[in-house]
Structures are given as structure tokens and as C-alpha cells.
Amino acid sequence: MSDTELQEKPDLQIDQDQGNFSYPEDYAFDAGTGLTDKTIDYICDAKEDPDWVREFRKKALKVFNEKPLPTHWASKDLENIHFNDFRYYLSKGAKPKRSWDEVPDDVKRTFERLGIPEKERAFLAGVEAQFDSEAAYSNIKKAVAEQGVIFVGSREGLKDHPEIFKKWFGKVIPTADNKFSALNSAVFSGGSFIYVPKGVKVKHPLQAYFRINAENFGQFERTLIIVDEGAEVTYMEGCTAPKFDSVTLHSAVVELVAMKGAKIQYITVQNWSPNVFNLVTKRGLAHEESEIKWIDCNIGSRLTMKYPGVILKGRKARGEVLSIALANNGQHQDTGAKMIHAADETTSNIISKSISIGSGRATYRGLVHIPRHLKGCKNNTECDALLINTESRTDTYPAIVTRGEGNSVQHEASVSKVSAEQIFYMQQRGLSEGQAMSLSVNGFVNDLVRQFPMEYSVELKRLIDLEMEGSVG
């Protein structure tokens, strides 16, 4: 065995390499460090926000300042976020480019290294690429645009489509939902606005890519997706950042609205560098017979707190969360799901699989709520945790409230480690211990990964292989 193979702990940098680079900063707009009313004014001026948005932001800042950190249940690590040390708005210009040729060279190089233009040509219906606070590039394929599909940034959304935007903005996730949704409401910039008209089924996924380039920076994108009656869309987001010694904050708000019979599939592969606090609020509103499915995969970041939710508002609406979390040394993946049943015969399904490696900690936190006067609601929750090393940690904190008639919920969770017999068996057949471990872990998540779109499942398997390298201690 070579020296590198003898390392006790996995080399964490391997998978981070793809995103671990940055370019010198050269911004036309910089709101400076710290967060006050002046910061808000600067952002509003730079973005030429309408007055109602300025007012909305200022109210949100007040809420943010009033709300305490949720450390009575959440990780104390939140106290290491110093909100006044961040820069809240950095951009090279508020308007995204429609063609890669117009995108500034360093930004274009960034996305080329991440393979975005290539993927766009290969299989995407539209792409938005956000660089720090604003989208550098945004384009939608002509055929899709002609169907009436709107796919723009949040700034264009609120300016060019106020009649749809205003109706739903902040309705699924109110400003005061939690401290970080309030923060986002105060300083949001970037993110996507999507509207899919009645009956339109967007064949290929729309993709957003979020990139943090600057140090001491906070990214606060705001995404609002409205899918009208009988329409369907798949949205994918990816994210990376270079590794800095200082803390970076990412706090997004994502609101989905599925009208009658609509289907939304929202896929996230989060691979932030290990200095990023990733505190995201994501929630969907599902009307009658509609379906919202969150596929959420968390591999990177220092601390992720994210519990995608669905409010099942219409009869027979369905919500689903499929979640994979991989917590490596020094990481805490605090993820889960919220299912709020608010109509008869609504169903929800939560499947969560987590893997803790080294000193990594994976937490499942969930809420299932079925109030009284509802009939025939069903929830199924399964949480499986795999612990790789002796010092690995996992927690499960579900909360289930059930009332009403003919409703049923079931929750089950298990914790296990990779079976020594399995590893031994595979080694007998000539696999190295590392390969056997990778195979075993891939087997553990396989039934979930299979539900991911092809491109993502291949990527995910590769990431897991890399993360598992050298993890056998």
C-alpha cells in the first residue's frame, strides 16, 4: 500500500477540487460589509427596485433583527455566524447576459470549469448562472419560451411580471417564518422566477447554478416557481464555492406553487465548500391533485439546515421529499422535511438516507402535521442512517401530529453500520477495502439515487466514491 492509502481519514478535498478556485474580485456594485438600513437602500438602488420591494425589505430587516437564533433546538454553531462581517451585495451589473459571449471572461471561465455551457447544450431547457449576488447568464431555449414559459431572475420577475410575481411572492414562506427567511427577505438578490402556463409540460429540466466567488460574502437568492393547472416542470440547482478560511453564508428562500393537477420536481445537489453555512428555507404549496417532489442531496457545507416542506392545500395533493445527506469530518448536515396536510386525502412520503463519515454528524429533523377534520390522509416516513466510523454521529428528531378520521402515519428509522461480513465477502472476491466500502454505501443509497435524473445519479455516485476514499480506518 502506498502512503496515501494509509491515511486514516478520507482526503476531503478531492471532490471539492472542481469548485475550489476563485478569481480576483472586480465588482461594479459592492454594498460593503455589515447590514443596516443603508445596506438595504444600496441594494434597492443598485437593483432599481420598486418602492414596495424597498418597503418589504426594510420590514424584513426589522423582523430579522428581532428574531433570536433558534439555538434552543438547533446547533450552537449558528453563534459563530457574525452577521456584520459579511458583504451582502456584490455584482458586476444587475442584468444577466443572454449569450455566453457577452459574459465577462472570468465569470465565463468559472462556469466553463464547472461544465455549465456544455450541459446546457446537452440536455437542458434553460440555464441561469448566478455569480455572487446576480445572474451572469440567463437563457431559455426558444422552443420552450414560445410555449409561454417564463424563466428569468427574481429581479426581472418582479419588474416584468408583477401581476404573477406579487400574487405569490412571500406567500408560501412569509418573512417572519424564521430568522433566515427574514434575512433573505431583506437582502434577496438573484434566484429564479419561473412560470409555466396551463397544460405545458416542459420536457427538459431547467437548471440554475449558484456560484459564490468572493470571500466574507452572503448569497441570498430567491426563487419562485409557479406551475399552472396541469403543467409540469423539473428544476435543478447546483452550487459550489471556493474554500476560504473565513465563513461564507448562503441563505436562500425557495417558494413553489403547484396549481391544480400540476407537477413540480425540484432537484438540489448541494456541494458547497466546508466553510459555508447553508441555511435555506424551501417550501411548496400544492393545490388539488398536484404533486410537489423535492429531491435534496447535501454533500458539502459546514452546517446545512434545510427542511424542504409541502403544504398540501388541495384534495388529493401529494408531497414527497427524497433526501440524501453525506456528513464528512467537521460537517453537520441537519436536514429533513415538513409535510403540512391541509386537505382531505392528501398523501406525503419522506425518505431520508444519511451517511456519517469520520466525525461527521447527520441529523434528520421532520414535521408531519395532520390536523383535525381531515379524512384519508397518509404519511410514510423512513429514515435510515449509516455510520462509517466509530466517532461518527447521527440523530433523528421527528415530530408527528395526527388527528382526524381515517388518517394514518407511519415513521420508522434505523441506524446501522456497514456490515463487516459484506466487506469481507467483497474482499474475498478481490475488491480492496475502499472499493468494497464504496460499493456498500452506494448500495445503501441506491434505491433513492435511482429516482434522480440520470446525469445527477451518475454524478452522485462519483461523489460518494470520492468521499468514501480512505474512509476505512
Partner 1 sequence: MGKNGPIPTGRNGSPGPAWWQARKAEAWKKFQATPMPRRQDEDWRFATIDAIQLGDFHPGSKGKTAESKLLARSSASFPHAAKAVFANDCLLHVEGGEELAKKGVVFESLGGALQKHPALLEKHLMAHPVDLGAQKFAALHAAHASAGVLIYVPKNVEIELPLVAFHWLDGSEAAVFPHTLIVAESHAKVTVVDFLGSTEVDGTGLACGVNDLLVGPGAKVDYICLQRWGSKVTSFQLNSTRVEKDGEARSLFVNLGAAYARQESRSTLVGGGARSEMLGLSVGNDRQEFDQRTLQCHDVPNTWSDLLYKNALDDRSKSIFKGLIRVAPGAAKTDAYQNNRNLLLNPEAEADSMPGLEILNDDVRCTHGATTGQIDRDQLFYLMARGIDPRTGAQLLAHGFFEEVIDRIPDKKIGEAVRTFIVEKFASMKMQRTKEEGMGPVRKSGKGSLPETEVLDVRALQGLGT
Q: Which residues bind partner 1 (CB under 8 A)?
A: 72-73, 372-373, 375, 384-385, 387-417, 419-421
Residue 33 or 416 having the CB closest to partner 1: 416
Query: Which grid cell sits at 74?
Result: 438547533
Query: Minimum Å distance from CB 452 to partner 1?
Result: 22
Type and span of the H or E element at 467:
helix 454-468
Q: Which of 139, 233, 252, 155 is nearest to 195 (CA)?
A: 233
Instruction: Round to whole Å and give the CA distance between 165 and 283.
Output: 16
Residue 126 or 398 having the CB closest to partner 1: 398
Instruction: Give the end-to-end CA distance of the chain in Å, rounded to a whole number.
Output: 14
Could you write out the three-class secondary structure of 177-213?
Answer: HCHHHHHHHHHCCCCEEEEECCCCECCCCEEEEEECC
Query: Minimum Å distance from CB 373 to partner 1?
Result: 7
Query: Minimum Å distance from CB 11 to partner 1?
Result: 20
CB atoms inside a 10 Å sphere around CB 226:
27
Burial of 378 (0-12, 13-18, 19+ CB in 10 A): middle
**C-beta contacts of 409-414 below 8 A and 24+ residues apart:** 409/368, 409/370, 409/378, 409/379, 409/380, 409/381, 410/379, 410/380, 410/381, 411/368, 411/381, 411/382, 411/383, 412/381, 412/382, 412/383, 413/364, 413/382, 413/383, 413/384, 413/385, 414/383, 414/384, 414/385
Residue 52 or 397 having the CB closest to partner 1: 397
Query: Minimum Å distance from CB 297 to partner 1?
Result: 21
Q: Which residue has the cell 434575512?
A: 183
Residue 174 or 443 having the CB closest to partner 1: 443
Residue 35 or 388 having the CB closest to partner 1: 388
Query: Minimum Å distance from CB 344 to partner 1?
Result: 12
Burial of 145 (0-12, 13-18, 19+ CB in 10 A): middle
Query: Which grid cell sits at 309?
Result: 416542506
Residue 101 or 421 having the CB closest to partner 1: 421
CB atoms inside a 10 Å sphere around CB 207:
24
Looking at the chain, how many residues does it have? 473
Query: Which grid cell sits at 132?
Result: 455572487
Q: What angle do CA 413, 385, 398 make, to 5 degrees?
A: 45
Residue 417 or 461 having the CB closest to partner 1: 417
Beta-bridge partner residues of 337: 366
Residue 342 or 400 having the CB closest to partner 1: 400
Query: Minimum Å distance from CB 394 to partner 1?
Result: 5
Residue 11 or 395 having the CB closest to partner 1: 395
Instruction: Round to whole Å and give the CA distance between 42 and 433.
Output: 55
Instruction: Round to whole Å and give the CA distance between 196 and 231.
Output: 7
Residue 47 or 369 having the CB closest to partner 1: 369
Residue 246 or 419 having the CB closest to partner 1: 419
Instruction: Round to whole Å and give the CA distance between 305 and 222.
Output: 17
Query: Minimum Å distance from CB 383 to partner 1?
Result: 9
